[in-house]
Structure 1
């Protein structure tokens, strides 16, 4: 069926009810086009996504459900007639993937760490193309890591609660100026954290750094080849390692144990880059203040012992969630879909 490409880009909105979310559709009359379904969306992404949807004109129809409940059964029901999916933070099990593969041929994932959410090898075996998004949130995550560093050092949240409880006692803090920061993983995010830490006046050390001496000098970073030695001399340790087959469990228990008591520990990367159980065991000792945005199991179970660790700051994997990151992420997700239907490679993982 031929269709005039200069026709107005049409949309349709089905209002929310007491039991169903609002549904936003593009080109709903174009039944000749494949259907792309976004079963869930982070509320803050709705407006940015709509900005980019005209790129789908004459390429694909879209159906976006405007809620964010991340229920696997609901996800599968909403994706039942999809040819492709835009996945915003839904963990897709192999059982789900195998069922989806009977009709879904492409998945555009709204994030960098897609390997934590989808079995890439299994998707490849099933003939499902998986795309991610890259470098969309480098500044957002770097700023969040620095914010966590300040929170651990100055305990602003705890002081706020003291004030609300009519307690003027206050708390002593740790000055970051002149302290040693150890960065594990010096990609786009790690480099930004290094620059910010330099601005604070910290001494920055890193493992897995750029290979040239010019890069080290430009970033004012001292490279340390031995990870255990790196953390042993640190006052603050921040993880910025992507999750790949080569990095899974790359930080062993002996490195976690090498941190001195009182070392501030921050992870806004992926929990799985640390040897299973190593960080939990150290945190339960209660001798290192830590801030975590990522976990082995997400959402973090309500009975997790981490909730009972004094001084531990926990946030629900939100370091990437900012206005700037939303703009770039949503654009890339839509571009991934367009490239998929045009037979072009973009951010292809499988």
Structure 2
């Protein structure tokens, strides 16, 4: 762990603390820190610490905090509220990470980031899909071991891509899938009539209908109290043999435990970037069930998306100090 500080001697300036950091974001944060010169002091911790007591100590005396990858529980929020008046989250779905009503009562501004990595996540969803259908990684490993063994693949042309949630990421996935010659079918909680027309997408009556009628289903819903477990075991059972499920959104969208049970049947495939517990525990049924491609919540990790995320965090905090409102949720 290292600590990067700007103008630590100017104690008259307010204090921004970044109490932990994802390694891929450190470079971008360091690049943008000079933008706070004369506005506030900055204290950036470059490790991935998640312990609440340690985080609380690190944030002591801060006026503003950038939160990266940890939940702000009610007790931690209460402690932070002694001095903190702005929390900028380096991610989306902020209401899953902090009690917004409690933050409002404390007079704390809450900011999030939006559409920072739509293309990145969509491309990763397609990468998971391509690994399942064309098995490039598997053949590459064989080739490096001296094994010449072409593997059967699955052609996507003419297949149906079912998309659950049709915001920025879902629409990007649809555009790529259309490029493959796939048919698009959508279930969404919000109307997106112009995008539906543009992408010649059909509308599914229900999530169950989408699962039953698609060759590939990709999840792109925001996770909140209304969408938790929205994909049920019955929906998963509706998948036809040979179907593929892609999830780069949130694991909690799927009814707890139901995906592993469905995969145990061995007749469908799944490409997963998100899990109920992260990092994924060593003992987890999804590690051993057949037909899975797993990645460690990496869909957002591109140079452009990381820079966009950090840029929005910086702008949110600068706006707080300069009297502007950028990506304010509360």
TM-score normalized by structure 2?
A: 0.92
Matched, 1:121 2:95: no
Provide the C-alpha distance between the structure 2 equivalents of 1:163 and 1:313, rounded to a whole number of angstroms. 19
1:335 is matched with 315
1:10 is matched with none
1:277 is matched with 257
Provide the C-alpha distance between the structure 1 equivalents of 2:88 and 2:193, rounded to a whole number of angstroms. 38
Displacement after TM superposition at 1:210 (Å): 6.6
Query: Contact (CA 8 Å) 1:263, 1:288: kept in 2 or not?
Result: yes
Provide the C-alpha distance between the structure 2 equivalents of 1:281 and 1:119, rounded to a whole number of angstroms. 32
Displacement after TM superposition at 1:184 (Å): 0.5
Please point out which of 284, 301, 318 is paired with 1:321: 301
Query: Contact (CA 8 Å) 2:49, 2:55: kept in 1 or not?
Result: no
Query: Contact (CA 8 Å) 1:208, 1:225: kept in 2 or not?
Result: no
* RMSD (CA atoms): 2.1
Provide the C-alpha distance between the structure 2 equivalents of 1:213 and 1:69, rounded to a whole number of angstroms. 43
1:67 is matched with 47
Displacement after TM superposition at 1:214 (Å): 4.5
Q: Deviations over 1:105-158 (max 9, x none)?
A: 221111113233333333334433321100000111011111111011112222
Provide the C-alpha distance between the structure 1 equivalents of 2:97 and 2:193, rounded to a whole number of angstroms. 36
Query: Contact (CA 8 Å) 1:209, 1:223: kept in 2 or not?
Result: no
Unaligned runs of 5+ in 2: none
Provide the C-alpha distance between the structure 2 equivalents of 1:246 and 1:107, rounded to a whole number of angstroms. 24
Please point out which of 161, 179, 184 is paired with 1:199: 179
Please point out which of 167, 174, 199 is paired with 2:147: 167
Provide the C-alpha distance between the structure 1 equivalents of 2:299 and 2:97, rounded to a whole number of angstroms. 17
Misfit runs of 4+, over 6 Å? none
**How many residues are matched?**
330
Displacement after TM superposition at 1:345 (Å): 2.8
Provide the C-alpha distance between the structure 2 equivalents of 1:117 and 1:293, rounded to a whole number of angstroms. 19
Provide the C-alpha distance between the structure 1 equivalents of 2:194 and 2:294, rounded to a whole number of angstroms. 37
Displacement after TM superposition at 1:53 (Å): 2.4
Provide the C-alpha distance between the structure 2 equivalents of 1:96 and 1:144, rounded to a whole number of angstroms. 34
Question: Against the structure 1 CA distance between its residues 264 and 96, is the aligned structure 2 distance closer, same or farther, given a 3 Å change threshold?
Answer: same
Matched, 1:85 2:65: yes
Query: Contact (CA 8 Å) 2:263, 2:290: kept in 1 or not?
Result: no
Q: Deviations over 1:167-218 (max 9, x none)?
A: 3233211111111100000001111111111111111111117746543221
Provide the C-alpha distance between the structure 2 equivalents of 1:209 and 1:114, rounded to a whole number of angstroms. 19
Matched, 1:140 2:125: no
Displacement after TM superposition at 1:69 (Å): 4.3
Please point out which of 117, 131, 150 is paired with 1:151: 131
Q: Structure 2 matches for 1:191-230, cutoff 5 A?
A: 191-208=171-188, 211=191, 214-230=194-210
TM-score normalized by structure 1?
A: 0.87
Unaligned runs of 5+ in 1: 1-20
